[in-house]
A and B are shown apart, each in its own frame.
Chain A
Amino acid sequence: MWQQHLAILPILVPLLAALLQLMPWGDRPQPKRRAIGLLASLLTLVLSIALMVQVNQDQMLVYALGNWSAPFGIVLMVDKLSALMMLVTAVLALPVLIYGCYAEDNLGSHFQALFQFQVMGIMGAFATGDIFNLFVFFEVLLISSYALLMHGGGKFRLRTTLHYVLLNLLGSALFLIGIGTLYGVTGTLNMADLATQVQQLSGDQAALAKAGGMMLLIVFGIKAAILPLHFWLPQAYSTTTGVVAALFAIMTKVGVYAIVRVYTLIFGPEANELALIAHDWLWVMGLITMLAGAIGILAARDLRLLVAYLVVISIGTLIATYSLNGTETTGAMLYYLIHSTFITGALFLLADLIAFERGKTASRIVSGKKMAHHSTYSVMFLIAAIAIIGLPPLSGFVGKLMIMEAATPNGATFWLWGAMLGATLIMIISVTRAGSKMLWHTLSGKANEQSAPLGKLSAVAILLSLSVAMTIFANPIRNYTDGVAEQLYDIEQYPSRVLTKGVE
C-alpha cells in the first residue's frame, strides 16, 4: 500500500519532522528537536534506499499528485537520476545533522527545523517532473538556505547573506521569465511534455523557446556557481558555519542536476532545431570555471575559502564533462559528482573542527598552536586531501580517471585533460601548502585546550569513509551511474511513461 506513495515520502518526512520541531517543546526543547531530526533523517535515508530499489525495478516512478493526469496536473517523476541524487542527499544529511546536534544548533534559533526544510526542498527539486514545481521547490530550499546561511549571526554573515539573497531573488525572477516564455510557446509545464513539444518547434517559436531555455541556464548557473555567476559562492561558503557549508555541498549539485535534467530531456540531442542549445556554452564555461577555481585556491589564505574554491573547481569539472554529451561521460560525471559531494562536505566539517581547536588562528593558513586532536585531524586532512585532489588510491583519482577515459573518444581530450590535470597540479600545491602550514609547522609550546566532542569527529569520519567505500565499490557504482546515464539519454521513454499515467 505505502509503496505507491514512495515517491513523495522523502519529501513528506522532512516536512512533517520540521513542523513537529517547530512545536513548543517545553523548557528544554532542543533534545527533543534533535531526536526528531535524527529520526527523520534516518527515515529519509531508509526511504531513499527503498525508492532507489523500487526505481531499479520499475525504471521510473510517476506520482500524479491528487491523481490529476500528467500534462494537466503536477507529477513527481522519479527516474534513476532522481533516485540517485535523493540518496546522495540523504546520505550527506545524516552525518551533517549528527555534527550539527553537538551544540551547533544552539547558535541560532530553529536550526533543526530549517535543516529539515532544506532537505525537503532539495528532495523535492530532485523528484519533481514539472518545471514550475521545480521553481517552487527551488524557493523552498532557498528560503531555508537564506536563514541557514545567517545561522550564528555576525556582521560578515549578514553581508554575504544579503548578497546571496539578492542574487537569488534575481535568479528567481529570471527563472519565472524563462518558464513563462516556455509556457507561452509550448503551452505546457510538464518536463516530459515539454520535451515532445519543443521537438516540434521551428522558426520564430523556436527562437522564443531558445531565449527561455537560455534564461534558465543563467538561473541554474547561479545555483551551480558556473564561472561568471560563481562569485557569491566562496564568500558565502567560507563565512557561514561549517555545518551549513557542509550541507550546502549538495546545493551546487542541485544546480548541476537541473542543468542535466533540462538540457538533456527538454533541450537534449533530440530537440531538432533546439538540440543542445546550451552545450557549447557549458563546455567553455566549465573549463574556465575550473581555471577560476584554480586561481582562487592559489590565492586563498583561509582553509574554508580554499575548500570553497575546491567546490568551484569540481563544479567546472562536472559541467565541462557533462557538456560532452555522451552516456559514458555523463556516467563518469555522476560518479565524480557523488564523490565530490561527500568529500567537500567532509572538508567543510573538518575545517570547522580545525578552526575551533586552533583557537585564535582559526582557519587561517598560518602556523599555530598544536590542537587537542592534532594527529587525528592530520590523518583526516591527509585522507580528505588525497581524495579531493584526485591522487591515487581514493575516489577522486578513480573519478577523474573515469572522466578522462570517457572523454578520450570525443576529441575533447586536449582541453579537458589539460584543464583537469592543470587544476589537479594547482590543487596539490595549494592543499599541500595549507596542510603543511597548519598541521606540520606548529608553534612550540603546549597544545590548545579546546577539544571538540568525539561525535563531531565521527561525523567527519563517516563522510571520509564514504570516499573509501566509493573506491572499493567503484565498479558497481560506475555500472549504476552508467545505467542512470543511459536512461537519461533515452528521451523517448519519458513522455510515454509520464503522460500515459492518468486517472484510472
Chain B
Amino acid sequence: METLYSVTVGILTACSVFLILRGRSFPVVVGITMLSYAVNLFLFSTGRLTIDGAPIYGTQETYADPLPQALVLTAIVIGFAMTAYSIILAVRTRGELGTDEVNQQDNSTEGNR
C-alpha cells in the first residue's frame, strides 16, 4: 500500500511540476491545483497509513493519527480558495491583456518596466 501511495503522490507531483513550468497561465493554474492534491495526499500520509483504525487512542489495537486529517482539512479549504482566486485572476488577465502568456513582455505604455 505504501508503495502505491507514494508512487501516486510522486506522479502527481511530477506532472504538476511539468505543468507549472509551462508558459501559459492555464496549465500553470492546473499544475498548481494538481500540486495541491499531491500535497494533501502527502500530508495525509505523514501520520502513517493505517487500515481499520479509528482516530481515537485506546479504543482499539490500531489507531490512526487524527492530526494529519485535521491538517489536510485546513489545507484543502485554503487550497480551494486559493485555486478559485488564481483562476479568476488568470481569466481576468486573459481578458485584459488578450493573451494568457505568463511572461509576455509588452513595452507599450510603461516603458522600462
Residue numbers of A with Cβ under 8 A of B are: 132, 136, 139, 143, 146, 155-156, 158-159, 161-163, 165-166, 169-170, 172-173, 176-177, 179-181, 183-184, 189, 235, 238-239, 301-302, 305, 364
Contacts and interface: CB of A to CB of B under 8 A. Distances in A.
Nearest to A72: B67
B64 interface: no
Q: Which of A139, A162, A238, A302 has the most CB of B within 10 A?
A: A162
A146 B85 contact: yes
B71 A132 contact: yes
Contacts, number: 92
B20 A162 contact: no
Nearest to A188: B67
Contacts of A156: 110, 113
A238 B113 contact: yes
B78 A239 contact: no
Contacts of A180: 39, 42-43, 46, 68, 71
B67 A169 contact: no
Interface of B: 20, 25, 28-29, 32, 35-36, 38-39, 42-43, 45-48, 67-68, 71, 74-75, 78-79, 81-83, 85-86, 89-90, 92-93, 96-97, 102, 110-113
Contacts of B113: 156, 235, 238-239, 302, 305
A472 B20 CA distance: 50
Contacts of B83: 169
B97 A159 contact: yes
A158 B86 CA distance: 11
A172 B33 CA distance: 12
A172 B25 contact: no
Contacts of B32: 166, 169-170, 173
A116 B17 CA distance: 35
B78 A165 contact: no
Given A166-B32, A302-B112, A176 B43 contact: yes
A170 B29 CA distance: 10
B102 to A, nearest CB: 7
Given A158-B96, A165-B85, A302-B112, A173 B46 contact: no
Given A170-B20, A180-B42, A181-B46, 18 more contacts: A159-B93, A162-B89, A165-B86, A165-B89, A169-B36, A169-B83, A172-B79, A172-B82, A173-B38, A176-B75, A177-B39, A183-B68, A184-B45, A184-B46, A239-B113, A301-B111, A302-B112, A305-B113
